[in-house]
Amino acid sequence: MSICRFTVSASRDIEDIIDQIADRQGFDAADRYLQKINAKCQSIANFPNMGRSRNELAPSLRSLPIDDYLIFYRAIDNGVEIIRVVSGYRDLEALFSEE
C-alpha cells in the first residue's frame, strides 16, 4: 500500500470542510465525506500521476477534484503528500503565493 501523508495545512483544510458539513447536514454526512476524502487520497497515493499538473502554482504540484474541492499533492517516495484541500472557487494563485 502506498503512503498518503498530510501536511498540517491539508489537515486543517479537511477539518474545516468536515466541520462545515457537520453544521449543515449532520455528523453522519460529515463522516461519509471524510471517508470519501480519505478514499480519494488513497487512490491518488496508488496512482500519483492521474491528477492534473499544477506547475503554474508550485513545482511538482498536482491536483485532483473531489466535488467542489481540489486536492493538491506532490509525489513522494512510496506515495504522495497532500498539500492542501480547498474549494475550487478560491483564488488558487493567491493561495499558493502565500505558501
Enter the pTM of the model.
0.93
Cell 454526512 -> residue: 29
Cell numbers linked to 6? 498530510
Over its length of 99 residues, how does the chain's per-residue pLDDT go in tens digits? 689 999 999 999 999 999 999 999 999 999 999 999 999 999 999 999 999 999 999 999 999 999 999 999 999 988 999 999 999 999 999 999 876
CB neighbourhood size of 23 (10 A) = 10
Domain of 54: which CATH number? 3.30.2310.20
**What's the number of domains the chain is made of?**
1
Domain that holds residue 71: 3-98
Give residue 2's pLDDT.
86
Give residue 98's pLDDT.
76
Distance CA 94, CA 5 (A): 24
